Amino acid sequence: MKPPLIRRRDAIQSLMGGSILLPGLLAELLAGDAPADPLSPKPGHFPGKAKRVIFIFSNGGVSHMDTFDFKPKLFAADGKTTGVGGGLSNQQRVLLKPGWEFKPGGKCGALVSDLFPHIRECMDDICLVRSMKSDDNEHYNATLGIHTGSFFFSRPGIGAWVSYGLGTVNQNLPSFIVLAPQMPYAGLQIFNNDFLPAYHQGVRVIPGREPIANLERRTKENKVQEMELGLAGAFNRRHLESRAGDAELAARMKTFETAFHMQTEAREVFDLSKETDETLELYGMKRGQSDGFGWQCLIGRRMAERGVRFVELVDGSSSHNWDQHGDMAEHAKHAKNIDQPISGLLRDLKQRGMLDETLVVWTTEFGRTPGVDGTKGRGHHSACFSSWMAGGGVKGGLTYGGTDELGATVAENKVHVHDFHATILHLLGLDHTRLTYRHGGRDYRLTDVHGNVVKALLT
């Protein structure tokens, strides 16, 4: 057999010429007239303490009086007194005693139930809000509301707004990533970019061989793909030359470079082999494990480390979650699932010095009724519920706001979903009234025409 006329190595080199796609000409174009890369990092409206968010969402409606809101009067329920109950919080029912004891946590002594013993030890870093309020009692609508600020209409999710407001520091990873093994209520609507540009949509990661769609190189040989990209680059450059300075064409060429790198870099995020045993233990994980909420939290930390602006961790799904109408005892297994992993995440971030700049948020779509649903369950309750934040400039060790003696309504310092959103944006250095997008003749924002920053929560 005759040796090949052109040596393979030389051929590749001539096609690729150093960087795969980006010789001087292109670099100039991108530096000059190019439309600003929409994902390049942008300053906020003012310096914010938080640089990124890890948003933990527990599906189904976590009962506040069984977790973070100690209600002695409920513990003393006599089996006769009624309060608001029923499936959708619209009937008078006998009060149900909480199923777990409360104990103080940390130096601040905040009372947390036995459902979250690990998180309880982190209360000095946590800013607990007991006076959350939502506007809708249905899973879908409330989930949509806590993510997009709208309880009925399609709007961009909070992750998309943050990506839009601040861009990302790592161009090789999406700026908004959602770790959701299963889908929550309202489906993709809550991670959607909606009318914001497409770069800001949440990219869903599902544990497994291909956590991000199309991430796995389909051509068996790496080199083949590289050569393909090399030839494409050469042809694209010629195409560009005769279409003087079309920055859009140049920008598209760059996305192939990014995609190429994503194949390795994004994979690298999921490679846990370099994490120490101690770290894995913090999250309650075994070596080699690639699923479970501990995995989600650890990957979340790794993404935050690598500059992803907004990571959402979805706990549960639309069909398997905290929605205990039948038997409150089942809260236990859902809590066990996330308690240690979340505390591990907080500790890990703190150890690495990341907690000050990473805002960790834990929330749910609504609380549950003080009165019973069925015989042993609780119904949906949007009039009040609990959420917390940690890091990123919030006051740790603070318990803010309160509910009435039954946990049925907000008694003081109400924090509506819109106020919660306004505060999160503020921590990131964004003024929620100025982070707007003109669409259909109107300036939209995450908080619509509502919301006030809750200054008491800020350091």
Nearer residue to other proteins within complex by CB, 119 or 162: 162
Does position 169 interact with other proteins (CB under 8 A)? The reply is no
How many residues lie near other proteins (CB under 8 A)? 83
Tokens of 357: 């700049």
Query: For the chain, what is the largest distance between any 2 Cα atoms, rounded to a whole number of angstroms?
Result: 96
Closest CA to 306 of 269, 272, 271: 269
Q: Which of 218, 274, 333, 455 binds other proteins (CB under 8 A)?
A: 218
- Residue 199's CB is within 10 A of a number of other CB atoms, namely 18
Nearest to other proteins of 14, 290 (CB atom) = 14
Q: Is 380 within 8 Å of 324 (Cβ atoms)?
A: no
* The one segment of 4-12, 66-74, 328-336, 354-362 that binds other proteins by CB under 8 A: 4-12
Q: Residue 14, interface with other proteins (CB under 8 A)?
A: yes
The answer to whether residue 223 forms part of the interface with other proteins (CB under 8 A) is yes
Enumerate residues 291-330 that contact other proteins by CB under 8 A. 318-319, 323
Q: How far is the CB of 106 from other proteins (least distance, A)?
A: 32
Q: Which of residues 241-280 bind other proteins (CB under 8 A)?
A: 243-244, 246, 248-249, 251-253, 255-256, 258-260, 262-263
By the rule CB under 8 A, 140 interacts with other proteins: yes
- Does 30 help bind other proteins (rule: CB under 8 A)? no
Question: Which CB sits closer to other proteins, 111 or 206?
Answer: 206
Site for other proteins in 349-388 (CB under 8 A): none
Q: How far is the CB of 380 from other proteins (least distance, A)?
A: 12
Give the nearer residue to other proteins in terms of CB position, either 4 or 47.
4
State the CB neighbour count (10 A cutoff) for residue 369.
33
* 206 touches other proteins by CB under 8 A: no
Between 423 and 452, how does the x/- string for binding to other proteins read (CB under 8 A)? -----------------xxx----------
Minimum distance from residue 232 beta carbon to other proteins (Å)? 5
Query: CB-wise, 243 or 286, nearer to other proteins?
Result: 243
Residues in 170-189 at the binding interface with other proteins, rule: CB under 8 A: 172, 174, 183, 185-189
- Paired tokens of 139: 């899973």
Residue keyed to tokens 């050569």: 227
Please state the closest distance from residue 171 (CB atom) to other proteins, in A.
Answer: 8
* Contact mark string toward other proteins, 385..424, x via CB under 8 A: -----------------------------x----------
Nearer to other proteins, 76 or 213 (CB): 213
As given in the structure block, the two tokens for residue 166 are: 């601040």
Judged by beta carbon, residue 286 or residue 320, the one nearer other proteins is 320
What is the nearest approach in angstroms of other proteins to the Cβ of residue 311?
Answer: 17
Q: Determine, following the binding rule CB under 8 A, whether residue 194 of this chain makes contact with other proteins.
A: yes
Site membership for other proteins, residue 84 (CB under 8 A): yes
Which one among 101, 228, 277, 405 touches other proteins, defined by CB under 8 A? 228
| Both structure tokens of 373 | 């649903």
